[in-house]
Amino acid sequence: MENSENRSLITIGSSNLAKTEKLLSITQKILSEIKPQYENVKIGGQEWISENSDIFPRNVGETLGTIEKKSYTFNYKTFQVWKDGIIIYSGKSKGQIIAKVSNGILNVKIDDIMINNHIIKNFSFGEISQLGDRIMWSKDLFNSNRKTERNNPDISSLFFINLVLSKVTFTIYEPNTVVEFYS
């Protein structure tokens, strides 16, 4: 019969309590040794946290304030196309992604015959978010209009290391693929 007054998982004085305390102590020690060291970096009016992969404050769809929209050019050396967790196509290329902001819209151009069967050459995004390890551009984040177009990216994620763009990904709903570009 269960004692309704005793709501703890481990009874005080039991040997399991000592074992649990020891495991917690060991876990805390391990976590303190491997815990990444973050450094605050101020860019414009925003404070960002930098590690190997840069960490950005969470701000989905600019609900917590305006996010600076920047144009970029990304020279990539390799790419991968993923479907259902499997790489279906990959290669090396000296390609370039050119993304220009105009009136708050990010217009993207990828003209590379190595990849153009999986992603259209020209497309755009109108929404921006910061999601921890990435800056994310999107067309319709919550897919409220239910409109997709074949090989037309719906989401793009920009990953930085030491504030340098190092990886660009494009999520495509039709067909359900992810195209990744690496510097």
For residue 62, the domain's CATH number is 2.30.29
Task: Provide the whole-model pTM.
Answer: 0.70
pLDDT of 12: 54
Give the count of domains, the chain: 2
Given this model, what pLDDT does residue 6 score? 47
Residues 25 and 90 in one domain: no
Q: Is residue 73 part of a domain?
A: yes
What pLDDT is stored for residue 43 in this prediction?
37
Q: Are residues 30 and 63 in the same domain?
A: no
Residues 26 and 71 in one domain: no
Shared domain for 30 and 109, answered yes or no, is no
Q: Which carries the bigger pLDDT value, residue 32 or residue 5?
A: 5
With cut-offs at 50, 70 and 90, classify the pLDDT of residue 14. low
Same domain, 68 and 139: yes
The answer to whether the CB of 68 falls within 8 A of the CB of 44 is yes
Give pLDDT, residue 29.
45
Q: Rounded to the nearest 10 degrees, how much is the dihedral formed by the CA atoms of 22, 27, 30, 33?
A: -100
At residue 55, the pLDDT reads 86
**Residue 41 is assigned to a structural domain of this protein:** no
Strands of 127-132's sheet in order across: 56-59, 127-132, 135-138, 155-161, 164-172, 177-182, 72-83, 86-102, 105-110, 122-125
Task: Judge if 25 and 61 occupy the same domain.
Answer: no
Does 157 reside within a domain?
Answer: yes
Q: What is the pLDDT of residues 16-60, one digit of tens each?
A: 545 445 445 454 544 444 344 444 544 344 444 444 568 889 999
- By residue range, what is the domain housing residue 12? 7-36
> What pLDDT, in 10s, does the model give residues 119-170?
999 999 999 999 989 999 999 876 677 778 899 999 999 999 888 999 999 9
One domain, residues 115 and 165: yes
- Other Cβ atoms less than 10 A from the Cβ of 113: the count is 8
